[in-house]
């Protein structure tokens, strides 16, 4: 999974790519639980580019996108938000896949 480096990169990515941002933090135990399944999800959903967003590094972006719980996922296509799975609960692989399947492009 790629790692978001800057707000400028974020602004470019949402315009140019079908992207899913995973908001997370190193200290988040629920985020660590889903780490082993993320490569599988990326491989099974390769029409999207996945980016890890460090919540602590991009706290202003989290506020702008109303991401107040982690792990959370927000999808963009052609500069518009096309889906979100945002809450503070632990997520299963099936829940994340269901979210991805629900994204309407």
CATH of domain 2-102: 3.40.30.10
Run of H or E residues at 62:
helix 59-64
Indicate if 62 belongs to the active site: no
- Structure token pair of residue 83: 């889906």
Domain definitions of the chain by residue range: 2-102
Please report how many Cα atoms fall inside a 13 Å half-sphere around the Cα of residue 44, on the Cβ side.
Answer: 12
Cis omega (within 30 of 0) on the bond before 71? Answer: yes
Choose the catalytic residue: 4, 19, 28, 96: 28
59 vs 17: which has the higher pLDDT = 59
User: Does the predicted model carry a pTM greater than 0.85?
Assistant: yes
Choose the catalytic residue: 31, 41, 75, 103: 31
Measured between alpha carbons, how far is 16 from 29 in angstroms, rounded to an integer? Answer: 32
- Rounded to an integer, the average pLDDT of 87-93 is 90
**19-50 residue pLDDT tens:** 999 999 999 999 999 999 999 999 999 999 99
């Amino acid at each position: 999974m790629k790692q978001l480096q800057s707000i400028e990169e974020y602004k470019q990515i949402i315009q140019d790519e079908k992207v899913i941002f995973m908001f997370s933090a190193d200290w988040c135990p629920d985020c660590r639980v889903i780490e082993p399944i993320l490569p599988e999800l990326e491989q099974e959903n390769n029409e999207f580019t996945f980016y890890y967003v460090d919540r602590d590094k991009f706290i202003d972006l989290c506020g702008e996108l109303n991401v107040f719980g982690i792990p959370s996922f927000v999808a963009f296509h052609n500069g518009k938000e096309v889906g979100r799975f945002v809450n503070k609960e632990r997520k299963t692989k099936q829940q994340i896949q269901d979210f991805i399947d629900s994204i309407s492009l």
